Amino acid sequence: MKWFLHSIGMMFGTAPRKPGEDEVTDAARTMMKFKKLPDQVKIRKQKIAEEHEFPVVSNKWRNRRWASIIILNLLFVVSYWFDVQLVEGALTASRFFGFHMADLFSAAQVMLAFKEVMLNLVIGTMTVVIAWWLVGGRAFCSWICPYHLLAEWAEMIHLKLARLGLAKDHVYHRGLRTVLLVLFLSLAFLTGYTIYEYINPVGIVSRALIYGPTIALFWVLFLLGIEVFYSRRFWCRYVCPMGLSYGVAGALSPVQVEYNLELCLHEGECRKVCMVPHVLEVTKMGYASDTFEYIGADCTRCGMCIDACPQGALKFKVRGLDKVI
């Protein structure tokens, strides 16, 4: 229960923390003592040096995600332009073979704006909640969201420019996202308008792909410019309340990223590639409370940490089935 509450707290902006002595299992404590023995430290440093000298690059999960985002968004485009009615609408609200689907945050805004509980939206949100509970975490962000793909490409440019000293990552408090979630819901209730949707890059990009580009795409380009030159993954890390709502829906999902303390070298390669590195604090030396742990609810299930770890210390796992994906 402590793990779960701490995981939820981190999603809403609290800082990750090192577990107290009373929270660490005997098995984890014994493992950490063993890892700190002089001969084990020497072996670990040697393995890290070998990794850096002969890096093993894997993009398995990244390629799968990119394919997923492109294919699923193309379904909307093909359905509209060829009138095949596979998927109707856009990502914020749609019907899939007749099943209503509604983005959780967008649906909440509409009902607050109209001050009415709408049956279609309730059905749509329940469909989405069940789907993302099964998949887990903020998987919508990394496996479906078209803005995420653009932001990922912007991040690649940012990292290259940062190495040349041409860009800098300005860090903000992650609690800003929680404040903005409350603010936009309050504005919907007070004004009767879904104000967030006017600046929501997910909806803007989705509608542009389906119905054609509009002037709103300049706002998306502006956000990407911020992410390239000023603040790495600014929108997804610090602003987007949609990601927060999906994180809540998938917090207790059966699909998790599992961390294996025994296999970990604690070199931090996983945290370097992670969009939400606070969820991987557990990989730091002395931060694990057990020999096996699940990564927090704010995890986007992107799999980049799994690709980055040659030791296999991180894996997708289906809880209760003892099955590794």
Give residue 322's pLDDT band: very low, low, confident or very high (50, 70, 90): low
Q: What is the pLDDT of residue 82?
A: 86
Model pLDDT, residue 117: 87
Q: How confident is the model at residue 323 (pLDDT cuts 50, 70, 90)?
A: low
pLDDT tens profile 183-232: 999 999 999 999 999 999 999 999 999 999 999 999 999 999 999 999 99
Q: Taking 80 as the threshold, does the pLDDT of residue 324 lie above it? A: no
Tens digit of pLDDT for each residue in 92-138?
878 777 677 888 899 999 999 999 888 888 888 888 888 888 887 78
- Which is more confident, 318 or 221? 221
87 versus 145: the higher-pLDDT residue is 145
Q: What is the mean pLDDT of the chain?
A: 90
In the chain, what percentage of residues exceed pLDDT 70? Answer: 98
For residue 135, what are the β-bridge partners? none
3-state secondary structure the chain: CHHHHHHHHHHCCCCCCCCCHHHCCHHHHHHHHHHCCHHHHHHHHHHHHHHHHCCCCCCHHHHHHHHHHHHHHHHHHHHHHCCCCCEEEECCEEEECCEEEECHHHHHHHHHHHCCCCHHHHHHHHHHHHHHHHHCCCHHHHHCCHHHHHHHHHHHHHHHHHHCCCCCCCCCCCHHHHHHHHHHHHHHHHHCCCCHHHHCHHHHHHHHHHHCCCCCHHHHHHHHHHHHHCCCCHHHHHHCHHHHHHHHHCCCCCEEEEEECCCCCCCCHHHHHCCCHHHHHHHCCCCCCCCEEECCCCCCCCCHHHHHCCCCCEEEEECCCCEEC
Residue 261 has pLDDT above 80, yes or no: yes
Output the CA–CA distances (angstroms, integers) from residue 42 to 142, 264, 265, 285, in the order listed.
37, 15, 11, 15
Mean pLDDT of 163-170: 93
* pLDDT for 1: 59
Predicted confidence (pLDDT) per residue in 61-92, tens digit: 999 999 999 999 999 999 888 888 778 888 88
Q: What number is the average pLDDT over the span 276-283?
A: 93
The pLDDT of residue 51: 85
**pLDDT at residue 245 greater than cutoff 70:** yes
Give the mean pLDDT of 236-256.
89
State how far the Cα of 64 lies from the Cα of 265, in Å rounded to an integer.
26
pLDDT for the residue 137: 74
**All residues at 6 or more sequence positions from 289 whose CB lies less than 8 Å from its CB, including other chains:** 3, 19, 23, 24, 25, 28
